[in-house]
């Protein structure tokens, strides 16, 4: 397996985290402490929060409205949430934004963040990235970790602001220090690449570990890669296999491919071509082109699976369709196939794509 031997399993270097749940837009649902310090002790506010959590939205809305009219920014933010989500009332984003604005103008960080999210995603009208940056900055400056993360992403991508990796790193650091899982992963990527701050693989490994321990699948995979290669951390095949398995069991095809490599090479686990084939096939069926090439190799050589050059050619064709080729392996397989067998492989590849 020399031509594919990956003592250097590739990192997943995406800086954009997977989409957050829609409910994150209004993260106030489980936050009872968003009211002003002056109104926090008011029984009516506490009662309104309890009613809200019990889904007694009519009573909650009535209590919040009385407090909001008196200028309570926390109650105003809850009213914004109620109207934005249509909780016990007809959904009305315009009314929601009116209440969010009242709270945001008083410095309510959750309301500022939510206005930024609305502007960024065009949830009320046309997307307005500059306005989003403005609101995110206000909330981030107050320590709002979701705002810090979103602001970091906007600086990283140059959305609504000049692209600036150092500013992205600055905001990811602040959010990561508060335990924000996606910021921890993104900060690790920046330390690994040297974008926006000095390259430091040890720091990268530290932040990958923090995110991995919180269940971030890409961080688990990247931490496994660092343990496998001894990059920024002492090489440890057993820990590489442990973290790779966690990510693989979550369905990450790159990690499934990594498990195949570790099993094939006997790193961190007993050497087993048959187990390698199982992992490679699992990833190949998720359309991972590297795994498809490895399946082609195993089928061509009869390692871990029955020798089958037609199946090998099918996997080569599928990998090629996804932009990954191995000319040496293709030549090796083509040399033992006749025209009919090549047509058969092509037909099977077409059928596989339509499955």
- For residue 10, the model assigns a pLDDT of 52
Q: Using pLDDT thresholds of 50, 70 and 90, give the confidence band for residue 124.
A: confident
- For residue 26, the model assigns a pLDDT of 40
Q: Is the pTM of this model over 0.95?
A: no
Is the residue at 262 inside a domain? no
Number of Cβ within a 10 Å radius of residue 259: 27
| Alpha-carbon Rg for the chain in angstroms | 26
Is the residue at 115 inside a domain? no
Is the residue at 284 inside a domain? yes
Q: Tokens representing 122?
A: 């065009």
Q: Using pLDDT thresholds of 50, 70 and 90, give the confidence band for residue 27.
A: low
Q: Once rounded to an integer, what is the mean pLDDT over residues 20-28?
A: 37
- For residue 28, the model assigns a pLDDT of 53
Q: Using pLDDT thresholds of 50, 70 and 90, give the confidence band for residue 355.
A: confident
- For residue 233, the model assigns a pLDDT of 93
Class of residue 332 by CB neighbours under 10 A (exposed 0-12, middle 13-18, buried 19+): middle
Is the residue at 3 inside a domain? no
pLDDT digits (tens, 9 = 90+) for 218-244: 999 999 999 999 988 999 999 999 999
How many residues does the structure list for the chain?
355
Domain that holds residue 309: 272-355
Q: Using pLDDT thresholds of 50, 70 and 90, give the confidence band for residue 86.
A: very high
Q: Once rounded to an integer, what is the mean pLDDT over residues 180-209?
A: 97
Is the residue at 332 inside a domain? yes
Of residues 321 and 25, more confidently modeled = 321
Is the residue at 313 inside a domain? yes
- Average of per-residue pLDDT values in the chain: 90
pLDDT digits (tens, 9 = 90+) for 28-85: 544 444 444 344 445 489 999 999 999 999 999 999 999 999 999 999 999 999 999 9
Please tell me the distance from the alpha carbon of residue 122 to that of residue 93, in angstroms, as a whole number.
11
Is the residue at 67 inside a domain? no
pLDDT digits (tens, 9 = 90+) for 320-336: 999 999 999 999 999 99
Is the residue at 330 inside a domain? yes
Are residues 211 and 181 in contact, defined by beta-carbon separation less than 8 angstroms? yes
Is residue 22's pLDDT more than 50? no
- For residue 291, the model assigns a pLDDT of 98
- For residue 114, the model assigns a pLDDT of 96
Task: Give me the number of domains the chain comprises.
Answer: 1
CB within 8 Å of 91: residues ≥ 6 apart = 83, 84, 85
Percentage, residues of the chain above pLDDT 90: 85
Number of Cβ within a 10 Å radius of residue 351: 10
- Residue in the block written with tokens 């009219």: 69
Q: Tokens representing 49?
A: 């929060």
pLDDT digits (tens, 9 = 90+) for 126-179: 899 999 999 999 999 999 999 999 999 999 999 999 999 999 999 999 999 999
């Amino acid at each position: 397996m020399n031509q594919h031997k990956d003592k250097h399993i590739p990192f997943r270097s995406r800086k954009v985290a997977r989409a957050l749940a829609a409910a994150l837009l209004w993260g106030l649902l489980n936050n009872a402490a968003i009211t002003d310090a002056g109104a926090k002790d008011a029984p009516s506010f506490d009662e309104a929060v309890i009613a809200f959590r019990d889904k007694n939205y009519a009573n909650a809305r009535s209590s919040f409205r009385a407090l909001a009219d008196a200028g309570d920014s926390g109650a105003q933010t809850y009213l914004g949430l109620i109207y934005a989500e249509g909780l016990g009332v007809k959904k009305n984003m315009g009314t929601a934004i009116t209440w969010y604005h009242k709270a945001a103008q008083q410095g309510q960080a959750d309301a500022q963040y939510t206005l930024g999210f609305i502007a960024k995603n065009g949830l009320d009208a046309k997307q307005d990235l500059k306005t989003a940056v403005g609101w995110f900055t206000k909330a981030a400056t107050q320590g709002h970790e979701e705002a810090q993360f979103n602001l970091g992403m906007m600086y990283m991508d140059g959305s609504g602001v000049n692209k600036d990796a150092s500013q992205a790193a600055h905001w990811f650091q602040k959010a990561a220090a508060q335990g924000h899982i996606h910021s921890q992963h993104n900060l690790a990527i920046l330390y690994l690449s040297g974008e926006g701050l000095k390259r430091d693989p040890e720091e990268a490994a530290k932040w990958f570990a923090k995110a991995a321990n919180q269940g971030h699948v890409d961080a688990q995979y990247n931490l496994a890669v660092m343990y496998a290669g001894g990059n920024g951390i002492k090489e440890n095949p057993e820990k590489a296999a442990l973290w790779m398995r966690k990510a693989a069991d979550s369905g990450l095809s790159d990690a499934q491919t990594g498990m195949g490599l570790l099993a094939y090479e006997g790193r961190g686990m007993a050497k087993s071509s048959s187990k390698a084939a199982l992992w490679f096939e699992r990833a190949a069926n998720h359309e991972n082109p590297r795994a498809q090439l490895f399946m082609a190799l195993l089928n061509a050589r009869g390692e871990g699976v029955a020798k089958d050059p037609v199946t090998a050619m099918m996997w080569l064709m599928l990998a090629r369709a996804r932009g990954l080729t191995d000319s040496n392996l293709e030549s090796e397989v083509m040399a033992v196939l006749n025209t009919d067998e090549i047509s058969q492989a092509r037909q099977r590849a077409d059928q596989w794509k339509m499955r």
